[in-house]
Structure 1
């Protein structure tokens, strides 16, 4: 659409929709203009997808109306499979367009190359070919085809519901760049529902938060939204504190003797009751508590000279017959206690297979998997298979089938109490597992794993079906996870947040360390940087004195040695009086140090605030002994805060060099 600047493209007025007894959207009015880049966030079940489907006219609201500007073309990617299974991939993606027409158009060619790489050569990503029936594809492959079909069309407004599901890191990066460059800045518009916070920050300039049947608007992407919401919550907390003080005052007044109460003015009683009753309902907060963890010994998991081959059936090879595909070849990979490793790689390179080998679900063709004597593994699979087998059971029964009492942070909780910390109300606990949403099943699956008290936790695409609030809570849990952690994910935000280093599976049967993290992986895949040499990656803490072996890597090898208390790398710190350029690995480690120190500073600041409150109470009661003890604690906390600030500044100097 030419000359779109300032154009109003579509709007909604007075939208209301109710499912059963629950109102999901209540009298919502909003508009979308040319140039809007909108990310929609909120908890699972709060109405994000419902809002988008109503705006796309795929669903009707109970009340209100949606209007599109005349001539506006709207494209919508639903989470449901809407492709015609009898069509070939070619028919679904390019329709009747001859190859020379779409291939000569840079925009259309980019869509095919970005989502279905290699397909014009006969077989594309994950074994997709042009003449393959859509119905023969996997769910993830069909998702890519549906997204390609949508992006090949010339729409003015694009609505995407969880577009990053089934995309790898490369696919997510490509989609972000495509959306940023698809239109000029003041042309076109898109709305996206996604749990991928890096993606939201990369492409969105506006954020809509759907909650409690309403929609709040925020300027900026996910980071700006998080800061704005924190400020909103802080203001609400101040207001609530004032209200609580009034409640206490009025309650004290009401609790005076019965004879006095009979003479009280009715308006004072009504005012007190109004204050007591005016307590806003808490939003269902997901609180993932640290579960007790079995002790982890010195030896954890080692893959030694391991090889593994799978056989692809003829149906997956375009009629070429059964083909043996070597996933790993003579690989050595070592995991030490407390290591936190992120795994990225191309589709079919063996990321899930690696976890299954480490978990002992499958055995290698050659080599061995060496497990420490105290190792107890748990793996969060993509398929949620263990819950599928319990579809007829109620949530509470699944939680308590092995035991009724759980040790959480030194406290004993019943199954019902533990489920409540994860956002399952007492009523919801009696829901059959088969009736839960995808996000609820994912929460239950994770909690069920943790109650087994593993000391090696493996997560295979853990962000699927989880909302951003739940992801933040899960990351808080993983921050304090005392065992060894391995995460396979396309979510860059999660990987950089909870793991210390990453490794790559490039489809060549090897495992390679990534000192430069996900950015280095993308540069390698784009051909801008060669893959790391295998010998150069074998410098891990679990085998520091070992001789370099081709095909081997230690997960710790990408973790720079740090100088205690400073957050600077020992190798990267320049001598006094000299200037030196820090490596990207040094800067990346410094940024991680800044994040870690920031968390510590927040905790200590809260501790200082709490001590001030305790001292105020002790001062009122003239408890001098307690005041003296609290003052000593306060001095120690303030000294710790000052040290943390110094460490943050030192790391900041490196990160910004």
Structure 2
């Protein structure tokens, strides 16, 4: 449905249409409104028109048809995806002066004092910046965070942010979410960070099919509502629908890092998920082949590692085993990329013992896209790695594999240099997986990916049989696909974090970072169950581990049943397999009982 405007709106779009030559028509006859208390998350596929919608909301771009109206004297501030700062300007010039606010509308602003600016810069992960430091030598991420700080120190009736979490670490995303929750005024934000959408937004606008549909609630509510709409319409292909059904199953079963309960009746989705398998069972993408992984993956003893003069690891001892699923958490610059490059064999430690298992075949997904062969076409870039790949129980061609990753016949012959950022990221992953690795090393894998592509990536990683080590600021991805976490705090340590992201934020705050806060009202203080917020979080993490253990046991049971059918005439082998099956079923029953007992102790939600 389309959203109708009302008189009280501060911004109205009336029958707006917009298109661009080669890109085609993006929006057609869209009418919607935004009032002074709205907190809107804008989602949709890459290229659907999300940024175009924001530019029209700000009046930076005019529609082809229809009109955009603002309330009189409306103060609007916005952060575009790309911006240019004067290289000679200082942080003070940008944040407190007029060196960058050409993109903002509204004239007069209340200027914050230096203490307020410092608090915002610290929260955004830049405590080292001085107000008189020039922006010219800064990295692109630092310049973008300075520009974001310039908006946050000012008052506005409407704040519009296009990918504000880019270049922020987990702590920075957490701080920004808490800041925006308490900030006065309306908010519209485009982001692929699904945890952030749930933490901040109370309404979701989906940009798709040349229109905009509104849903009450954040990402969790939107994914459920979209599933119901697609089920009722019955207009979505089976593969996409299965992916969506699985996402719903995880939202109800997995680690409940939901910061607000969906304001949407869930029973409408029950029909969709009654027969959905556990999150780590057979996927719609099936299991890609991997090289056999031995008992040892990585063994570090008293390892020292530097990035230039900066010490990353000091006397670190760490073991990584087969099937481990590990998240590496840390501020920007803490050394996460340097650690992954060492594990990938690109660099060597400066001291200590670093041993890689003889069967390890790593694949390193870096943050850079320059490693892609821009002179080749998509299919040629895949065939450069492998012409045929084992996917599940069948062998498929490079063209068929490319289709699994969203490259249809029209895009197979597109030059790599002409692909969008999201498409290049997908191609990068495709080429890595085509090499059939058994260890995945991911450095910010969610950059440039829309929410649907992220769901497809997580769907693939759900049943990945090898080892996964991922450095990411995407809390949703971390809590979805990893089972243990380690923190890097800039002091040479690699610290095990049994409490995951929550423990990382607490430790970072204790070390002088932005103080974490629980954004879930239902878990503030003691719960009605009698459990404290910390006890609830710990119990839910344990519940997630038990769920994954049950899923793995079910997979093993299915494999044993297949072997029993295969060896039905070999009575000795049948007896052996039957004994294994009984033992496995007993273990699964004990695990399920433990899960049920823990689930009954926890509050709903």
TM-score class, shorter-chain normalisation, is 0.7 to 0.9
Partner of 2:492: 509
* One of 229, 233, 242 as aligned partner of 1:232: 229
* Matched ranges for 1:511-550 at <5 A: 511-527=494-510
SS in 2 for 1:294: coil
Partner of 1:374: 359
* Matched ranges for 1:460-475 at <5 A: 460-475=443-458
Partner of 2:291: 294
* Matched ranges for 1:115-264 at <5 A: 115=124, 117-118=126-127, 124=128, 128-183=129-184, 188-237=185-234
SS in 2 for 1:135: coil
Which runs of 5 or more residues in structure 1 are unaligned? 119-123, 242-285, 312-323, 531-578, 604-638
Residues 1:350 and 1:406: Cα distance change in structure 2 (over 3 Å):
same
User: What is the CA-CA distance between 1:594 and the residue it aligns to?
Assistant: 6.9
SS in 2 for 1:134: coil
* One of 350, 358, 382 as aligned partner of 1:399: 382
User: What is the CA-CA distance between 1:461 and the residue it aligns to?
Assistant: 0.4
* One of 401, 405, 408 as aligned partner of 2:391: 408
SS in 1 for 2:412: helix
Distance 1:57 1:601 in 2: 56
User: What is the CA-CA distance between 1:584 and the residue it aligns to?
Assistant: 6.0
User: What is the CA-CA distance between 1:353 and the residue it aligns to?
Assistant: 0.6
Cα contact 1:306–1:366 (8 A) shared by 2: yes
Cα contact 1:523–1:529 (8 A) shared by 2: no
User: What is the CA-CA distance between 1:60 and the residue it aligns to?
Assistant: 2.3
Partner of 2:272: none
Partner of 2:310: 325
* Matched ranges for 1:582-621 at <5 A: 583=535, 586-593=538-545, 596=548
Which runs of 5 or more residues in structure 2 are unaligned? 1-5, 100-109, 239-282, 514-529, 556-585
* One of 456, 471, 478 as aligned partner of 1:488: 471
Distance 2:13 2:531 in 1: 57
Partner of 1:112: 121
User: What is the CA-CA distance between 1:524 and the residue it aligns to?
Assistant: 1.3
User: What is the CA-CA distance between 1:433 and the residue it aligns to?
Assistant: 0.9
User: What is the CA-CA distance between 1:398 and the residue it aligns to?
Assistant: 0.4
Distance 1:70 1:529 in 2: 43
Residues 1:17 and 1:293: Cα distance change in structure 2 (over 3 Å):
same
Cα contact 2:367–2:443 (8 A) shared by 1: yes
Distance 1:505 1:391 in 2: 34
Deviation per residue, 1:279-331 (Å, 9 max, x gap): xxxxxxx97553200000011111221112233xxxxxxxxxxxx22111111
Distance 2:376 2:425 in 1: 16
Residues 1:153 and 1:231: Cα distance change in structure 2 (over 3 Å):
same
1:653 is aligned to 2:600 = yes
Residues matched between the structures, number: 497
Partner of 2:257: none
Distance 1:516 1:139 in 2: 32
Distance 1:33 1:641 in 2: 52
Distance 1:82 1:333 in 2: 43
Deviation per residue, 1:376-415 (Å, 9 max, x gap): 001110012321xx11211111011233222111222222
Distance 1:205 1:133 in 2: 38
Which piece of structure 1 moves more, 458-467 or 57-66?
A: 57-66
Cα contact 2:159–2:187 (8 A) shared by 1: yes
TM-score relative to the length of structure 1: 0.70
User: What is the CA-CA distance between 1:528 and the residue it aligns to?
Assistant: 8.5
Distance 1:221 1:28 in 2: 21
Give the CA RMSD over aligned residues: 3.2
Residues 1:602 and 1:191: Cα distance change in structure 2 (over 3 Å):
farther
Partner of 1:79: 81
Residues 1:9 and 1:329: Cα distance change in structure 2 (over 3 Å):
same
Cα contact 1:405–1:412 (8 A) shared by 2: yes
Residues 1:599 and 1:86: Cα distance change in structure 2 (over 3 Å):
farther
Cα contact 2:301–2:352 (8 A) shared by 1: yes
SS in 2 for 1:40: strand
1:308 is aligned to 2:291 = no
Cα contact 2:121–2:146 (8 A) shared by 1: no
User: What is the CA-CA distance between 1:135 and the residue it aligns to?
Assistant: 2.2
Cα contact 2:462–2:481 (8 A) shared by 1: yes
SS in 2 for 1:453: coil
Cα contact 1:17–1:62 (8 A) shared by 2: yes
Structure number with greater CO (CA < 8 Å, separation at least 6) is 2
Cα contact 1:593–1:648 (8 A) shared by 2: no
User: What is the CA-CA distance between 1:356 and the residue it aligns to?
Assistant: 0.7
User: What is the CA-CA distance between 1:96 and the residue it aligns to?
Assistant: 7.6
Partner of 2:35: 33
Deviation per residue, 1:146-168 (Å, 9 max, x gap): 11112122211011111001001
* Matched ranges for 1:448-467 at <5 A: 448-467=431-450
Which piece of structure 1 moves more, 104-113 or 459-468?
A: 104-113
Distance 2:550 2:201 in 1: 26
Cα contact 1:114–1:171 (8 A) shared by 2: yes
Residues 1:209 and 1:593: Cα distance change in structure 2 (over 3 Å):
same
Partner of 1:420: 403
Residues 1:467 and 1:180: Cα distance change in structure 2 (over 3 Å):
same
Partner of 2:62: 60
User: What is the CA-CA distance between 1:215 and the residue it aligns to?
Assistant: 1.0
1:444 is aligned to 2:446 = no
User: What is the CA-CA distance between 1:92 and the residue it aligns to?
Assistant: 0.9
Cα contact 1:455–1:483 (8 A) shared by 2: yes
Partner of 1:355: 340
Which piece of structure 1 moves more, 8-17 or 199-208?
A: 8-17
SS in 2 for 1:406: strand
Moved beyond 6 Å, runs of 4+: 238-241, 579-582, 597-603, 639-645
Partner of 1:88: 90
Distance 1:16 1:85 in 2: 37
TM-score relative to the length of structure 2: 0.76
User: What is the CA-CA distance between 1:483 and the residue it aligns to?
Assistant: 0.3
Distance 1:240 1:408 in 2: 21
User: What is the CA-CA distance between 1:648 and the residue it aligns to?
Assistant: 4.9
User: What is the CA-CA distance between 1:239 and the residue it aligns to?
Assistant: 11
